Amino acid sequence: MRYTDRSLRILKYAEMEAERTTKIVYPVHLLLGVLLERTSVCAELYINYPNLTEILNNRVKEIQFDKGDEGFNYEPFTLNISQTTERVLVHAENQMKRFKQVYLNEGHIVDAIFKVNDRLTRAIIDGLDVSRILEIVSLPRDMVVSLKDYSFPSFPKSGITIRKAKQKDASSLKTFIEKEFGNGWLDSIENGFLQEDIPIFIALDGEGIIGFACFDVVRRKKGLFGPMGTSFSNRIQGIGYTLLHYCLGEMKEIGYEFAVIGEAGPLEFYEKACNAVVIPKKFTDHR
């Protein structure tokens, strides 16, 4: 299983918390690890719930863990983990695969913690505003990229062709998207092909389209990047990164000072690829 850098840090923090308490990594330690990871949505969760760490630590002290539970080894942990923690990670991996992603991230982990119906975990999260926690960490988030000082990066040579889509590409692109991602994006793609200057870039190899990215197509909103997708068999090759920057480069040329990435799933990808920042949630109270 592949992990994002942030999720690996969360697992390491979880081990640190387990080392000083139960000596075995339980799901509550994963949640404490999220709170210790003070970046992006994890930092936002900490800010919105400044007393959540204390609440969880107090519950760890109060709950009677099975003293006979020795746990078992599970990579990439160095401490043993509980069976429930394994169930959390398996559920998180299944969630990752469901969304056709290739890296396990913090959102998958937090979602799985609350979905695994375990007695100890239920006792730990009892009374917490689970829906808000999930809204902050696990649901897709809007991000923003400043284009004021943006510069188009250089790319290594490859056998992949990146170019603007033409009207003749409409049918094959829609077929590709429906096969790889379903039909949820087809209306937005149609909006793109209705424009005189089609704001869609496609990636091609010898056998046809293997990826695409666009902007100004979702609900015909200006300055909104996406959707973007690469065929599952061609992930982790830099194709998405290249398509993203072709779009951002053109948005910069048009005159946009910012690009909004709507409902981004792999947050860390955009943070690293183009210094995108998550747009904070606004809540009426702070529990």
Domain-by-domain residue ranges, the chain?
A: 5-139, 144-278
83-97, 116-130, 181-195, range with the lowest pLDDT = 116-130
Average pLDDT on 108-124 reads 91
- What tokens were used for 157? 């040579």
Average pLDDT on 16-31 reads 96
3-state secondary structure of 209: strand
Cα 238 from chain centroid (whole Å): 17
C-alpha gyration radius of the chain: 21
What class does CATH assign to 5-139? mainly alpha
Whether pLDDT at 16 is above 50: yes
Average pLDDT on 184-210 reads 95
pLDDT at 65: 83
Q: pLDDT tens, 5-15?
A: 999 999 999 99
Whether pLDDT at 286 is above 70: no
Name the average pLDDT for the chain: 93
- What tokens were used for 80? 């043993």
Cα 195 from chain centroid (whole Å): 30
CA dist 41 and 107 (Å) reads 9
Residue with tokens 């990215």: 213
Average pLDDT on 52-79 reads 91
pLDDT at 79: 97
pTM of the model: 0.92
Whether pLDDT at 49 is above 90: yes
What is the DSSP secondary structure assignment for residue 138, as one 8-state letter?
T
CA dist 275 and 271 (Å) reads 5
Task: Give the whole-number percent of the chain exceeding pLDDT 90.
Answer: 83
What is the DSSP secondary structure assignment for residue 196, as one 8-state letter?
S
Tell me how crowded residue 206 is: count the other CB atoms within 10 A of its CB: 8
Average pLDDT on 33-57 reads 96
Cα 171 from chain centroid (whole Å): 29
Q: Which CATH superfamily is domain 144-278 in?
A: Gcn5-related N-acetyltransferase (GNAT) (3.40.630.30)
pLDDT at 284: 58
How many Cα atoms are found within 13 Å in the side-chain-facing hemisphere of 273? 23
Q: Which of 93, 71, 97, 75 is nearest to 84 (CA)?
A: 71
Whether pLDDT at 116 is above 70: yes
CA distance readout (Å), 58 to 21, 121, 284: 11, 14, 26
